[in-house]
Structure 1
Amino acid sequence: MSQRGRLGRQIVLSMGLVSIITMLIAFVGSIVIYGLLFALAPPSAPISPKELLIPDPGDYLVFAILLLIGLVVAIIVASRLARRILAPLNSLAEGARSIAAGDLAARAIPGDRSLGETALLVDDFNAMAERLQRMTAEMTAWNAAIAHELRTPLTILRGRLQGMRDGVFVPNDTQIRGLLFQVESLTRLVDDLHIVTLQDIGRLEMHVEPTHIDVEIRRAVEPMNEALDEAGLAVNLALEDIVVECDATRMRQAFLALLDNARRYAVPGSLVIRAHASGDEVSISVEDAGPGLSPEFSSLVFEPFTRADASRSRKFGGSGLGLSVVRAIASAHGGSAQYRPGSRGGSCFEITVPRRRRR
């Protein structure tokens, strides 16, 4: 017998046993009621106490008929109730088997919602199945995006190295610098993926110590000055002297990602970098002069492998992970990363972190 049949049989037998006990109680109760009726309205002919307590054959026949009718009604009710209980459970079992077989779109049917706990169980199962399907789809998209991002530098490296081996390219300084640039791109992509993945699973290690955040911002800006100048961006620093308990290396990495994002996408103009404290929080923002983000894209800007302008991304490179790294580092510090339209019509990316590490 299948597991489903055994479960149904157990439910029916349990309800049948309850029904039999209920009918026995009704049987004994009817005798008591008979006794009370005889006590309150005695018959005209005298009856001995022994005859009063012992029913006659006619009474036994009435009790037997009532018991048989009650048992039939109890079995019918128990069977109907068992089907109501089993319908969502069977649907739940079938959904679980379908998901185990690879059909992540399978869902259970709650059926009669008057059975509150069973309906809630089915709803929880469906929510779990939906989340599993969404996570699988995101993982598939991640794998495709990672493969796409790795393919370009690997193809260039293989082509250049084969060309050098075949004598097509002369291994000079220009070729070596180009190869190193592709290797650096691969290294940066792997590092970014590592940070985002570790933060997603809550394993991003932090070396927290008191840090002058304005000093770290200047250290991040200094190596980017030349690249920012080439992009036509003039850096304007508005920094307060603030000490924050943070991982200085990680925070500097987040600042570099914000500066690199501005270099790739911002139009020439001033780039305002601010750092100020408000209560127990510190905000660091990078604001450019344009062009800003559309409302549709602004809600997705921190998602991995998203780009607002594919043509500029192809021109200046980039994997679409920079802002995801910014969000991961901010979250690891107990803070957040936000986007808002800038006061000059451009984009303003802001990191907010607590001044003291939350224990």
Structure 2
Amino acid sequence: MLSETVFQSEDLPVADRFDAWQALMSRTHAPMQMSSEDAADFRAHQRLIALGDVAVWPATFQQLVFRRTPKLVRQSDPENCHLSLLLRGNAVASWNRNEAAYSAYDLHINDTSLPFEIATGRGPITTIGIEVPKALLGLPWGSAQSVIGRRISARDGMGFLLAQFVSQLSADTRAYRPADAPRLGSVLAELVTALFAHALEAQDALAPETRDRTVTLGVKDFIRRRLHDCELTPSAIAAAHHISRGHLHRLFQAEGTTVASYIRDQRLEAARRELADPAQAATPVHVIAARWGFKDHTTFTRTFRTAYGAPPRDFRRRPPDPRRTHG
């Protein structure tokens, strides 16, 4: 499990909650001034997930105004770029005489080196914050900083890919080991770099390894969303991503696997989850197998037994620890 620090305002006396939240936000992001219409009985929850030098923090909180003044910037600057994936609520940000409005499934980007003010709307706000040192980005900050304040959609394209990554990571960190943290942080920094490059139309400025990693993540997301498709082949995947089959195979070879193995393992894991799910107890094994793209039941049974040590029917009768995953 990854290292997490949890803050729950209800654990504190009412009179201490808002000050504690302001102090927490100043440590998580950068020193800020805050005000809230709900300060008298402020309610907030945050999980801070450490990924080496990168951090992800899912949070829900009441109405707030965040202010980072020129004086606070001079006093302390962690030299981070920050991204907020807004999941519920709305906000308005202002900086350098500019202003932009954000709503659910928008990404807001700011810079700890710039003064800003962000005012959220009424009602609870749910967001996933991302803190990335500017030094970890694969683009010169002088170019990348022009994305500050832009409203970028998380519903499609690079924004969607980044949102999927942080949402899945935040949903359950038990699948990862502590040693995975810096690797996940590096992947996240590369995704942020790719998002900025796309916004700047500067894909050619990316290092080749960053471009390849971004393509690989996109391919994996494409595969996971189409596991049910029996025609999910390397040719179809390569065509959908406008790359050659040879390039596709090299991307997976760089990760020590093959396209076919990745598809098989993802399908097996999806089938395993359903076989272990009591709600699926009445669903025949062959239906589950077909649902996840296995054309031949005999092949599915043999492959499943090799991966999990028992045939599907025996596995269903004596399911292992549900937290166990293949690979």
TM over 0.5: no
TM-score of the two chains, using structure 2 as the length reference: 0.20
TM-score of the two chains, using structure 1 as the length reference: 0.19
Structure with greater contact order relative to length (CA < 8 Å, sep ≥ 6): 2
Structure ranking higher in strand proportion: 2
